[in-house]
Structure 1
Amino acid sequence: MNGTAKNRKYLPIHEICNILPNVRKKNILAFHAVTGCDSTSHLATITKKAAWKVFNGTTCQLSDNLGHSPLTPSSKANAEKFLVQLYKVTKDVSSRDEARYQLFGVVKKPEALPPTSDALRLHLLRCHYQVNVWENVHHVRPEVMDNESYGWRLHQDEYNPILMTLEPVPKACTDILTCNCLSHHCLTTMCTCKKNGLTCTKLCHRSHQCLNSSNG
């Protein structure tokens, strides 16, 4: 059932389930947890609808072990591969670090970047825990994993998610200089980056070939 109190809708879940390929049925709980549910964070700028399209178009085994203790390296790698595919990066990119690097300076808001390695690690721990709860909900006395070992912290009798344990940006990078050079190839002190002894980055707005970047 869904809809509003005055306009209830009946959704034949059994018919929808029969249409889904077996690999999608196996991965659907992991998909719901990884892309955000009531107890796990959703990915900024990524909607469920957009994620579902990617989910149906990928061959990635999202949950070969997600929700089944212990959380294996292959489960983490598959989840990371799936998450990367949700962002507009080239097909050769398979890790969130590569995706963050490629999108750095392209996206308008920092929250549009894929999660950091620290945030992703904790997110997957919470997803692993949540899928485990769902997988065992039919048992009279389900054996669930320890919350505090899977991305949660007990504070004043309430469990709160640990979103990250590291700073999102190193303190050394909190002040990032950029240039808007239109000529000189960023080789003179007219370039803000060159003047401060820094190389240009993808955040710089250059209309020429820059000779002050790591890529030349």
Structure 2
Amino acid sequence: MIFGTGKQRKCYLVHTISEKLGGNVRRNILGFYALTECDTTSALNGISKKTAWVKYIAQPDTLESIGRDGDALAVSKFLCVLYGCCQDHPPNIDTCRYR
């Protein structure tokens, strides 16, 4: 992958980056991207892309079933992790956002 222009170009080896991420992160990264500020998704209120990435790296299995005919419960779990209120079972996104 080449990034930059002119003399500022840098080449990043995607397979090397992929190997460093780990299996769960690689397997669920498309779900993460779809939920957090991709080109067609609005930004999450008060959650930056960097904050979301740090929490995703810590718990990548929260998005295990996204995009694989899973239920919406995985989305609720991940969003509750982002907003910092995972006590509810099942997780309630509205309650987390309110808090």
TM-score scaled to structure 1, two decimals? 0.40
| Residues 1:97 and 2:98 are matched in the alignment | no
Amino acid at match of 2:22: P
Q: Structure 2, unaligned stretches of length 5 or more?
A: none
Amino acid at match of 1:98: T
Q: Please name the residue that 2:28 is paired with.
A: 27
Pairing of 1:149-164 with structure 2 (within 5 A): none
Deviation at 1:39, TM superposition (A): 2.1
The alignment covers a number of residue pairs equal to 95
| Residues 1:83 and 2:84 are matched in the alignment | no
Pairing of 1:52-91 with structure 2 (within 5 A): 52-58=53-59, 60-64=61-65, 66-68=66-68, 71-73=69-71, 76-87=72-83, 89-91=84-86
Q: Structure 1, unaligned stretches of length 5 or more?
A: 104-216
Aligned partners of 1:78 and 1:11: how far apart in 2? 32
Equivalent pair of 1:60/1:82 in contact (CA under 8 Å): no
Aligned partners of 1:63 and 1:41: how far apart in 2? 22
Aligned partners of 1:86 and 1:97: how far apart in 2? 13
Deviation at 1:15, TM superposition (A): 0.4
Pairing of 1:192-207 with structure 2 (within 5 A): none
- Higher-helix-fraction structure: 2
TM-score scaled to structure 2, two decimals? 0.79
Deviation at 1:17, TM superposition (A): 0.5
Q: Please name the residue that 1:212 is paired with.
A: none
Larger radius of gyration: 1
Instruction: Indicate the percent of aligned positions where both proteins have the same amino acid.
Output: 34
Deviation at 1:79, TM superposition (A): 1.2
- Larger RCO, structures 1/2 (Cα 8 Å, 6+ apart): 2
